[in-house]
């Protein structure tokens, strides 16, 4: 078997793997479960994610990516090694070339750590690309021309904002407010208002089902189960989409301020292009209800949701592998 060149979206919440000629072949949560006594991994990806918040004392569920960068190098290495074996990429006769992504504006040390973990997984060559650039390509934007394109990639750990022209980033910013932060905001809101403790997976379910930045239906609600802080007993409450809008308000306001900061640094000619072409939203966080409409009001610019926002980065690595001359 010949080498399979691979694109990896090494996300805080999910890892997506693109294989040249096959497309996205794997999408698994960035979670690994370790037996603390033996220090051996016992579950990966979806199976490990199902154990979050439900493990006994000697079993530990780990999210090795934090804010888009590697927080636990050894766990990321083991997880990536397992996932690549799963798609049989490591059984090839030749080593694959890997395109792997990182947030905009991270340090060289953080970028080198991402390159090293890919290299240790058995890569012949590793190419590290910034996520907003790859997301723009995956969303179908032609960034090679001398025309301004703007993309906002709201992932699990970071929101990356970039203006691109002539194949590269002109100006960008990255803020550590994204999907995981939205979940934390929901947890804290319910804790403060209802004196109820809920877990990360419950907060994520609330976000996905009724999460919004601009409530248009007060009747949209969800039953939430957790532990009463005062009595220490299980309790069920009902939460509305208007309340989730309130919970997310501070986070969304900070993202808007960051977007405005990038627009203020954008050269005038490119600003004119963006006013005409609009802004493209990618990433799982972009799926919050009414986010494009809310941003249009705040920025006075057209805002569009990418066709498949969750897969844009992975699809972008595929375009780079297929078309942009990385493969000699």
Nearest to 288 by CA among 178, 125, 168: 178
pLDDT over 60 at 52, yes or no: yes
Residue 326 has a pLDDT of 44
Look at the block and give the residue holding tokens 């009747």.
219
Overall fold of domain 6-134+312-323: Nucleotidyltransferase; domain 5 (3.30.420)
Q: What class, spelled out in words, does domain 179-247 have in CATH?
A: alpha beta
pLDDT over 60 at 327, yes or no: no
What residues have CB less than 8 Å from 147, skipping those under 6 apart? Answer: 165, 273, 277
Strand partners, 151: 162, 280
Q: Superfamily assignment of 142-177+248-307 in CATH? A: ATPase, nucleotide binding domain (3.30.420.40)
**How does pLDDT run across 133-155, given as a tens digit for each residue?**
999 999 999 999 999 999 999 99
Residue 303 has a pLDDT of 98
Nearest to 313 by CA among 156, 186, 203: 156
pLDDT over 90 at 1, yes or no: no
**How does pLDDT run across 217-262, given as a tens digit for each residue?**
778 999 999 999 999 999 999 999 999 999 999 999 999 999 999 9
Which one is predicted more confidently, 123 or 168?
168
Residue 325 has a pLDDT of 53
The count of residues in the chain is: 328
Look at the block and give the residue holding tokens 């203020």.
264
Dist. CA 257–CA 53, nearest whole Å = 34
Domains 6-134+312-323 and 142-177+248-307 share a fold: yes
Domains of the chain, by residue range, sit at 6-134+312-323, 142-177+248-307, 179-247
Query: How does DSSP assign 72-112, residue by residue?
Result: -HHHHHHHHHHHHHHTTGGGSSSPPEEEEEE-TT--HHHHH
The mean pLDDT value of the chain amounts to 92
pLDDT over 90 at 186, yes or no: yes
Dist. CA 296–CA 298, nearest whole Å = 6
């Amino acid at each position: 078997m010949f080498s399979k060149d691979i694109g990896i979206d090494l996300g805080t919440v999910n890892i997506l793997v693109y294989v040249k000629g096959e497309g996205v072949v794997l999408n698994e949560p960035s979670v690994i479960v370790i037996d603390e006594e033996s220090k051996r991994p016992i579950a990966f990806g979806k199976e490990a994610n199902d154990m979050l918040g439900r493990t006994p004392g000697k079993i530990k569920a780990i999210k090795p990516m934090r804010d888009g960068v590697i927080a636990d190098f050894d766990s990321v290495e083991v997880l990536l090694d397992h996932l690549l074996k799963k798609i049989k990429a490591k059984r090839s006769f030749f080593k694959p070339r890997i395109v792997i992504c990182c947030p905009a504006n991270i340090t060289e040390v953080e970028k080198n750590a991402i390159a090293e973990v890919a290299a240790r997984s058995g890569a012949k060559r590793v190419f590290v690309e910034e996520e907003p650039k790859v997301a723009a390509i995956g969303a179908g934007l032609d960034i090679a021309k001398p025309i301004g394109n703007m993309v906002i990639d709201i992932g699990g750990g970071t929101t990356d904002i970039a203006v691109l022209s002539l194949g590269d980033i002109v100006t960008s910013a990255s803020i550590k407010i994204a999907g995981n932060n939205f979940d934390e905001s929901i947890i804290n809101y319910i804790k403060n208002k209802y004196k109820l403790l809920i877990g990360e997976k419950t907060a994520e379910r609330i976000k996905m089902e009724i999460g919004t930045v601009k409530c248009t239906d007060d009747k949209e609600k969800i039953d939430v189960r957790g532990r009463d802080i005062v009595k220490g007993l299980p309790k069920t409450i009902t939460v509305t989409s208007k309340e989730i809008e309130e919970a997310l308000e501070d986070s969304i306001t900070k993202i808007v301020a960051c977007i405005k900061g990038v627009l203020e640094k954008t050269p005038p000619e490119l600003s004119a292009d963006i006013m005409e072409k609009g802004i493209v939203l990618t990433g799982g966080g972009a799926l919050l209800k009414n986010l494009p409409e809310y941003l249009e009001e705040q920025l006075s610019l057209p805002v569009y949701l990418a066709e498949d926002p969750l897969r844009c980065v992975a699809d972008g690595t595929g375009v780079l592998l297929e078309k942009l001359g990385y493969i000699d």
